[in-house]
């Protein structure tokens, strides 16, 4: 139960929100009391684990050193978002935070968990606020290799008010990207994690495998496609019972579904690119999905006025007033080397549209470190 002191402070925040921001600003600028710093130091699981000691001390002094993380849903949500960043492989800081949060929660040491969870939330808030400026570098090139600054006063104010109103879960959940794809991709990660211990054979037959060609090891391709979710279990068992040894129509259709899902050329032919994606390990797929989940923080979720270009599929969508008004095949390139099938009038019209709209390339890139599994436009793709 909250003390009279905490309730009094909460009433001040609720009744005088404009004044609360100034009060919090003053608290943010001052050094925490020795009592509060000592309390945090004693709660710290290991020396040096708490990054934002002064902020954390001020927060717990505001709450009269009472626990903040009462709601298990808020804990689950915090751990989920930090786990996704960890799986994306872009930050060692979030990797060890994910591990320590799990260990502390299992240990039952409420104070150690509570303090480290609050510190981790501040790190998450700071990370999200830094994405607009640093996201392109983090998600398409370099890792996060510098310590993140404390969150802004505005975010700190929102966090404290939410915690005082016992609405911490809603606040943490609101830090997710505002798109349903985040949940869908999280569910896909869970499904892959369940598949991780199972047998996932590689398809190693070389050359271009076309419809009707003999397969060196048909069972490995059938099982692989079944694991990928593009060939149902009944059909996979039927093909194995019949001892299929040729690349038949059922397998071709399954490969086409796989190619469509991964933004590859949908021709049913197993070449180098399709073979490489078929043979990606479960862990590699999880990392790719997690990285794409974080990229959702960078891409615009609104389609009020935007051009989406899917380069590998040579497709373009034009959205105006949140309505899809054009869906067309396109050739991507410079006007100076225009495709012979495109007239100069068409190129000029496209250039005008680009000037009208915010241009957003929905690309499947091969960055220095990562590749995407689904179209960036995200008509398909993941914890929940």
Which position has the higher pLDDT, 338 or 162? 162
Strands 305-310, 315-320: parallel, antiparallel or unpaired by DSSP?
Answer: antiparallel
C-beta of residue 2 within 8 angstroms of C-beta of residue 66: yes
Whether 115 contacts 40, CB under 8 Å:
yes
195 pLDDT exceeds 80?
Answer: no
End-to-end CA distance of the chain: 31
pLDDT for the residue 16: 36
pLDDT at 123: 96
Residue 216 Cα to chain centre, angstroms: 38
Whether residue 143 has pLDDT greater than 80? yes
CA distance 322 to 147: 38
Q: Which of 2-16, 31-45, 206-220 bottoms out in mean pLDDT, i.e. has the lowest?
A: 2-16
Inform me whether the pLDDT recorded for 18 exceeds 70: no
- Name the token pair of 53: 């000691």
Residue with tokens 């199972």: 198
CB neighbourhood size of 248 (10 A)? 15
pTM assigned to the model:
0.70
72 or 264, higher pLDDT? 72
Quick one: tokens of 202?
């590689």
Mean pLDDT of 62-79: 94
Question: To the nearest whole number, what is the mean pLDDT of the chain?
Answer: 79
pLDDT at 259 over 50: yes
Q: What is the pLDDT of residue 324?
A: 74
Query: Residues 265-318: pLDDT tens digits?
Result: 899 999 999 999 999 888 888 999 999 999 999 876 666 677 777 665 667 777
pLDDT at 75: 95
Kindly indicate the confidence band of residue 12, based on its pLDDT and cuts at 50, 70 and 90.
very low
Confidence of residue 191 (pLDDT cuts 50, 70, 90): confident
Cβ atoms of 177 and 127 closer than 8 Å:
no
- Position 349 confidence tier, pLDDT thresholds 50, 70, 90: low
Encoded tokens for 289: 């999905």
Judge whether residue 341 has pLDDT over 70.
no
pLDDT at 82 over 60: yes
Q: What is the reported pLDDT for 317? A: 75
Q: What percent of the chain has pLDDT over 70?
A: 74
Percent of the chain clearing pLDDT 90 (strictly above): 49
Lowest mean pLDDT among 92-101, 164-173, 370-379: 370-379
167-51-142-101 Cα dihedral, nearest 10 degrees: -60
Q: Is residue 373 pLDDT above 70, yes or no?
A: no
Q: What is the pLDDT, as a whole number, of residue 291?
A: 92
| Predicted confidence (pLDDT) at residue 154 exceeds the cutoff of 80 | yes
Confidence of residue 42 (pLDDT cuts 50, 70, 90): very high
pLDDT at 9 over 50: no
Find the length of the chain.
Answer: 384
Give me the pLDDT at residue 377, please. 31
181-186: average pLDDT: 89
Three-state DSSP string of the chain: CCCHHHHHHHHHHHHCHHHHHHHHHHHHHCCCCHHHHHHHHHHCCCCCCCCCHHHHHHHHHHCCCCCCCCCHHHHHHHHHHHHHHHHHCCCHHHHHHHHHHHHHHHHCCHHHHHHHHHHHHHHHHHHHHHHHHHHHHHHHCCCCCCCCCCCCHHHHHHHHHHHHCCCHHHHHHCCCCCCCHHHHHHHHHHHHHHHCCCCCCCCCCCCCECCCCECCCHHHHHHHHHHHCCCCHHHHHHHHHCCCCECCHHHHHHHHHHHHHCCCCCCCCECHHHHHHHCCCHHHHHHHHHHHHHHCCCCCCCCCEEEEEECCCCEEEEEECCEEEEEEECCCCCHHHCCCCCCHHHHHHHHHHHHHCEEEECCCCECCCCECCCCCCCCCCCCC
Average pLDDT over residues 44-73: 92
């Amino acid at each position: 139960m909250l003390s009279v002191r905490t309730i009094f402070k909460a009433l001040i925040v609720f009744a005088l929100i404009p004044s609360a921001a100034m009060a919090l600003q003053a608290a943010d600028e001052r050094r925490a009391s020795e009592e509060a710093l000592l309390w945090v130091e004693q709660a710290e699981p290991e020396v040096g684990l708490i990054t934002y000691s002064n902020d954390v001390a001020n927060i717990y002094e505001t709450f009269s050193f009472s626990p903040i993380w009462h709601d298990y849903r808020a804990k689950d949500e915090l751990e989920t978002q930090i786990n996704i960043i960890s799986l994306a492989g872009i930050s060692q800081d979030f990797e060890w935070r994910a591990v320590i949060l799990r260990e502390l929660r299992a240990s039952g040491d409420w104070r150690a968990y509570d303090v480290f969870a609050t510190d981790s939330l501040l790190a998450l808030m700071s990370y999200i606020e830094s994405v607009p400026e640093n996201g392109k570098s983090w998600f398409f090139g370099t890792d996060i290799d510098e310590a993140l600054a404390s969150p802004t006063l505005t975010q700190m104010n929102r966090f404290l008010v939410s915690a005082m109103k016992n609405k911490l879960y809603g606040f943490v959940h609101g830090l997710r990207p505002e798109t349903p794809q985040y949940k869908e991709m999280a569910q896909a990660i869970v499904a892959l994690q369940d598949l991780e211990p199972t047998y996932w054979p590689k398809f190693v037959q070389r050359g271009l495998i076309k419809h009707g060609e003999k397969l060196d090891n048909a069972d490995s391709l059938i099982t692989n496609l079944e694991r990928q979710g593009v060939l149902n279990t009944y059909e996979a068992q039927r093909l194995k019972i019949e001892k299929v040894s040729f690349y038949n129509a059922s397998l071709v259709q399954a490969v086409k579904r796989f190619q469509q899902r991964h933004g590859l050329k949908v021709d049913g032919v197993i070449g180098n690119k399709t073979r490489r994606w078929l043979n990606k390990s479960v862990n590699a797929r999880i990392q790719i999905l997690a990285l794409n989940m974080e990229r959702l923080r960078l891409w615009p979720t609104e389609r009020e006025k935007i051009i989406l270009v899917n380069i590998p599929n040579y497709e373009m969508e034009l959205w105006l007033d949140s309505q899809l008004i054009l869906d067309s095949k396109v050739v991507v390139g410079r006007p100076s080397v225009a495709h012979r099938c495109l007239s100069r009038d068409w190129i000029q019209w496209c250039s005008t549209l680009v000037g009208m709209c915010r241009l957003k390339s929905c690309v499947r890139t091969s960055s220095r470190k990562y590749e995407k599994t689904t179209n960036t436009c995200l008509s398909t793709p993941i914890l929940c």
